[in-house]
Structure 1
Amino acid sequence: MSTPDAVVVGAGPNGLAAAVTLARRGLHVRVYERASTAGGGTRTLELTLPGFRHDWGSAVHPMAFASPFFRRLGIRDRVEFVTPEVSYAHPLDGARAGLAYRDLDRAADVLGVDGAAWRNLFAPLVRAVRGMTEFVGGPVLRVPRHPVTAVRFGLRALEQGGPWWNARWRDEVAPALLTGVFAHTIRPLPNLAPAAAGLVLGVHAHAEGWPVPVGGSQAIADALLGELLARGGELVLDHEVSTLEELPPSRVTLLDLSPRAFVRLAGDRLSPAAAAPYRRFRYGNGVAKVDYALSGPVPWAAAGVDRTATVHLGGSRAEIAASEREVFRGRHPESPYVLVSQPTLFDRTRAPEGRHTLWAYTHVPAGSTVDREDAVTAQIERFAPGFRDLVLATSSRTAADLERENPNYVGGDIAAGDVSLAQLLARPVAASDPWRTPVDGVYLCSSSTAPGPGVHGLAGWHAARAALRREFGGL
């Protein structure tokens, strides 16, 4: 092998985004990956039965069309997507459900007495979605290019992240629908950081929708890898890096790793004082995941839930808030919040004819070794009576299992770092260039860095651009 200009450790979506960004500037890039396949959280695997393909991580990607990196890459020309007319749904007892139609006016119309309040919450941000994405898609510690949009976003996050979060609502459907999105962050509710993150997802739900990649999320990883290889890049699989000294000489190294792993790899090259902020970086609670092979589609009791690939379960806003507080206190809720994805309603390539796959996770205390399959199944059955009769096979993973399979998910934390207000401001450190580390030529590019979790490639893209500016004079 020839000597690379740049080395990337980790072939998750951010590592591949960083590698592609560097390779497109004419640099020779080599990527090292500990697993036998590239993709990290975007891998698609047969986890239950032959022919049933399950996404290891997220199956639906709200930021796929909005990400500036993916737009520049032309992701829609490289990956086939299906975008459901309903971005997400939230069943309630009594065969009722909130439906977040991609069309904001239609979504508001079906919410009845809370329709106008829903429209007023989202409409100004949907109209300015590009400006909002620019504001939230990089480090917070900078002057926003769209200050009016930033203020509108901030005020709405404050409203929905405080004890007055029910002030605008008159019925229970709209607040429950919104809370299901807020709960993605695995934080107690109400809380400012989950409200901010949830509003971002909610805006994209009404802007361009939440798309499903045909063939599984692996299609996104394959598109990135194809571009890297076409630009002369290299991928080395089944290679776990233990120290920075193991890597070949290069002008820059980018790590799609957690701050904890960075400190370990840097060793003596990082002084105790320089290592301190990375050691202080906090990881959040985790998830337990269950994949199902089904003999038919989920029999949701409420009409319209089968129009989406994403369903949030857990009941009312108050029930979900109580459940998330239980997790925060180190407990496993009896009636947990469950995020469900049923991509085979829109992508028939993922299961044999007439069969379906279902993806589900629930929140658990960090490092939990408790198998939550029964609790997840019971919560689905609550809103889809007869679901159990459809189950052909399952694959259940605890939070500890997920960390073993992907060490970036410390304690099962799929966000690769607590999504708190402090760590939105300093992810992983408080700086306008948070990807650059104290070790010369070394940059972090994982979801532990700004702008945080999600399949958007922005952490890798920003880190690579920072490296190009500093190490290569902008190139």
Structure 2
Amino acid sequence: MSDCTSLLLDRRPFHGRHAVIIGSGPNGLAAAIVLAEAGYGVEVHEAQPTIGGGARTLPLTLPGFFHDFGSTIHAMAAGSPFFSCLKLEQHGVEWIHPPAPLAHPLDDGTAVMLERDLDDAARALGPDGKRWRHIFGSLAENWPQLAEEIFQPVVHVPRHPFLIARFGIRALTPATLFARRSFKDARTRALFSGIAAHSFLPLEAPLSSSGGIMLAVAAHAVGWPMARGGAQSITNALASILSELGGCIYTNSPIISLDSFSRDTLFLCDVSPRQLLAITSHRFEPGFRQNLQEFKPGPGAFKIDYALSDPIPWKAADCLRAGTVHLGGTFEEIAAGERAVAKGEHPERPFVLLAQPTLFDTTRAPAGKHIAWAYCHVPNGSTFDMTERIEAQIEHFASGFRDCILARHISSPATLESMDANLLGGDISGGAMTLRQTLFRPTRRNYATSDPNIFLCSASTPGVGGVHGMCGYNAARAALRDARI
């Protein structure tokens, strides 16, 4: 896949074949593009008034302030094998790289920084610098090959077996064990714990290192950039490419049942397993229906979008260099917070992920004003209001933060699900990232279902969550292979 000429099986057109894509998130649009390039007539149906799923930019607070509904920082989009071949920059995407990908402030008023340049990162991490370079350097140097492997189903014949083994052995390790074995300095362990916590797993769980390793490698290989104007520019670029290929997109167009379409229509569904059951369960075999029913969502997110009068007044000035800030203190404190969520509790001092895009992109707010968002992990479907605890955590590292708030938009798990039906109970990761569910996604042969014309292409399939389109790309290729057979 790193070779763009191999993106499609070939370009023989499927004359007269028709494909319907349900959902216009990055995966749905990626699937639509692959099928349109292969000669299918493609239409995309989106239930919301705005396309993009988790990659939307919306006026959630005050006039002139534009907030990303989902993620703002897009390492996986910048490093996606498929998106790289689409040349999104030619369709309006401009990547902005903050001076540092990440800041992790500590109680002593300083911050440990993740620098993009590997040499700078090694120097900044002092006694752990050489070890950091050893662990992440060779993986970063081989990012195209690594990305090609990790965005595939877990069980596949690797083209780069030694590289994937080097990644996989570490990725399977619990983050607590990995950090203790790898790093001597508590500051480095704190930095890694915040990155690993993106997995939504307790840090003692197998696989909890995987997200941390992947994101740390990406920071040095492709950076943690943001798209100028917000995530919507990525979605709009994909829609532009699809339009050039003759595809159509319909918004405010929820699909209640697949029976309204011709029986020989090819369906690629960028939806959760539960939604897939709701719209087409009668077409599936009982065993497959059970697989979908048993697929468990992950923890939820509680998110707050802020309109601000000023930049966040961090005690550690280095935080103003970073697009992302992790708030949680030491490795032990972050691990305790994530452990509480796994037990169904709401931590007093939650681990908070914060993005501050207008420090680097002034198009997102009126002159002199700013936006930021912050979220923490909560049990799936939680109804507990985490606003005070999130803001207390921010205030702890940035005295005077509350004085900067002009307006806030609070997204509880229920609110997130109402704005994107894929986010069941506030789950933004496409399902619990347990070892079993990572190895065995709910579909047959990774993307297929028991109906030969229906494929699942959401983040609940191999490739997992993130704005990278690889679930949709892989699912569309699987559908093309099956169609040829």
- Normalised by the size of structure 1, how large is the TM-score? 0.96
Determine the C-alpha separation between the residues in 2 that align with 1:121 and 1:284. 28
| Partner residue, 2:431 | 417
Of 28, 51, 69, the residue aligned with 1:56 is: 69
Per the TM alignment, residue 305 of structure 1 is displaced from its structure 2 partner at its CA by: 1.2
Of 42, 48, 67, the residue aligned with 2:80 is: 67
Q: Is the 8 Å Cα contact of residues 15 and 446 (structure 1) preserved in structure 2?
A: yes
Determine the C-alpha separation between the residues in 2 that align with 1:470 and 1:158. 32
Higher alpha-carbon deviation: 9-18 or 463-472: 463-472
What letter corresponds to residue 380 of structure 1 in structure 2?
I
Of 18, 21, 30, the residue aligned with 2:31 is: 18
**Percentage of matched positions with identical amino acids:** 46
- Secondary structure of the equivalent of 2:473? helix
Structure 2 vs 1, CA of residues 335 and 133 (structure 1 numbering), >3 Å: closer, same or farther? same
Higher alpha-carbon deviation: 136-145 or 116-125: 116-125
What letter corresponds to residue 73 of structure 1 in structure 2?
L
Matches within 5 A, 1:193-272: 193-248=207-262, 250-272=264-286
Q: Is the 8 Å Cα contact of residues 43 and 250 (structure 2) preserved in structure 1?
A: yes
Matches within 5 A, 1:329-348: 329-348=343-362
1:363 aligns with 2:377: yes
| Partner residue, 2:472 | 460
Determine the C-alpha separation between the residues in 2 that align with 1:249 and 1:86. 52
Higher alpha-carbon deviation: 154-163 or 232-241: 154-163
| Partner residue, 2:98 | 84
Determine the C-alpha separation between the residues in 2 that align with 1:232 and 1:368. 42
Per the TM alignment, residue 158 of structure 1 is displaced from its structure 2 partner at its CA by: 4.2
- Write the deviation string for residues 70-100 of structure 1: whole angstroms up to 9, x where unpaired: 0111123321110123111111111111111
Determine the C-alpha separation between the residues in 2 that align with 1:66 and 1:156. 21
1:403 aligns with 2:437: no
Q: Is the 8 Å Cα contact of residues 113 and 170 (structure 1) preserved in structure 2?
A: yes
Per the TM alignment, residue 25 of structure 1 is displaced from its structure 2 partner at its CA by: 2.0
Structure 2 vs 1, CA of residues 159 and 244 (structure 1 numbering), >3 Å: closer, same or farther? closer
| Partner residue, 2:8 | none
Per the TM alignment, residue 50 of structure 1 is displaced from its structure 2 partner at its CA by: 0.4
Determine the C-alpha separation between the residues in 2 that align with 1:198 and 1:339. 14
What letter corresponds to residue 401 of structure 1 in structure 2?
T
Q: Is the 8 Å Cα contact of residues 67 and 305 (structure 2) preserved in structure 1?
A: yes
| Partner residue, 2:455 | 443
Q: Is the 8 Å Cα contact of residues 178 and 209 (structure 2) preserved in structure 1?
A: no
Determine the C-alpha separation between the residues in 1 that align with 2:276 and 2:327. 36
Q: Is the 8 Å Cα contact of residues 175 and 196 (structure 2) preserved in structure 1?
A: no
Per the TM alignment, residue 151 of structure 1 is displaced from its structure 2 partner at its CA by: 1.4
What letter corresponds to residue 450 of structure 1 in structure 2?
P
| Partner residue, 1:354 | 368
| Partner residue, 2:136 | 122
Q: Is the 8 Å Cα contact of residues 47 and 54 (structure 1) preserved in structure 2?
A: yes
Matches within 5 A, 1:368-383: 368-383=382-397
Q: Is the 8 Å Cα contact of residues 121 and 156 (structure 1) preserved in structure 2?
A: no
- Secondary structure of the equivalent of 1:304? helix
Q: Is the 8 Å Cα contact of residues 5 and 29 (structure 1) preserved in structure 2?
A: yes
Per the TM alignment, residue 126 of structure 1 is displaced from its structure 2 partner at its CA by: 1.1
- Write the deviation string for residues 345-374 of structure 1: whole angstroms up to 9, x where unpaired: 111100000000001111011101122111
Q: Is the 8 Å Cα contact of residues 86 and 307 (structure 1) preserved in structure 2?
A: yes
- Secondary structure of the equivalent of 1:309? strand
Q: Is the 8 Å Cα contact of residues 78 and 84 (structure 2) preserved in structure 1?
A: yes
What letter corresponds to residue 12 of structure 1 in structure 2?
G
1:108 aligns with 2:122: yes
| Partner residue, 2:60 | 47
Determine the C-alpha separation between the residues in 2 that align with 1:404 and 1:89. 32
| Partner residue, 1:6 | 19
Q: Which runs of 5+ in 2 are unaligned?
A: 1-15
- Secondary structure of the equivalent of 2:276? helix
Q: Is the 8 Å Cα contact of residues 371 and 397 (structure 1) preserved in structure 2?
A: no
Determine the C-alpha separation between the residues in 1 that align with 2:128 and 2:173. 16
What letter corresponds to residue 130 of structure 2 in structure 1?
A
| Partner residue, 1:97 | 111
Matches within 5 A, 1:185-200: 185-200=199-214
Determine the C-alpha separation between the residues in 2 that align with 1:77 and 1:173. 41
What letter corresponds to residue 238 of structure 1 in structure 2?
N
Q: Which runs of 5+ in 1 are unaligned?
A: none
- Secondary structure of the equivalent of 1:359? strand
What letter corresponds to residue 366 of structure 2 in structure 1?
P
Per the TM alignment, residue 472 of structure 1 is displaced from its structure 2 partner at its CA by: 4.2
Q: Is the 8 Å Cα contact of residues 103 and 112 (structure 2) preserved in structure 1?
A: yes
Q: Is the 8 Å Cα contact of residues 81 and 144 (structure 2) preserved in structure 1?
A: no
What letter corresponds to residue 25 of structure 1 in structure 2?
A
What letter corresponds to residue 269 of structure 2 in structure 1?
L
- Write the deviation string for residues 417-469 of structure 1: whole angstroms up to 9, x where unpaired: 1111212211234x6x3111111211000001111000000000111111111
Q: Is the 8 Å Cα contact of residues 102 and 205 (structure 1) preserved in structure 2?
A: yes
Q: Is the 8 Å Cα contact of residues 327 and 363 (structure 1) preserved in structure 2?
A: yes
Per the TM alignment, residue 58 of structure 1 is displaced from its structure 2 partner at its CA by: 0.3
1:275 aligns with 2:271: no
Determine the C-alpha separation between the residues in 1 that align with 2:173 and 2:295. 27
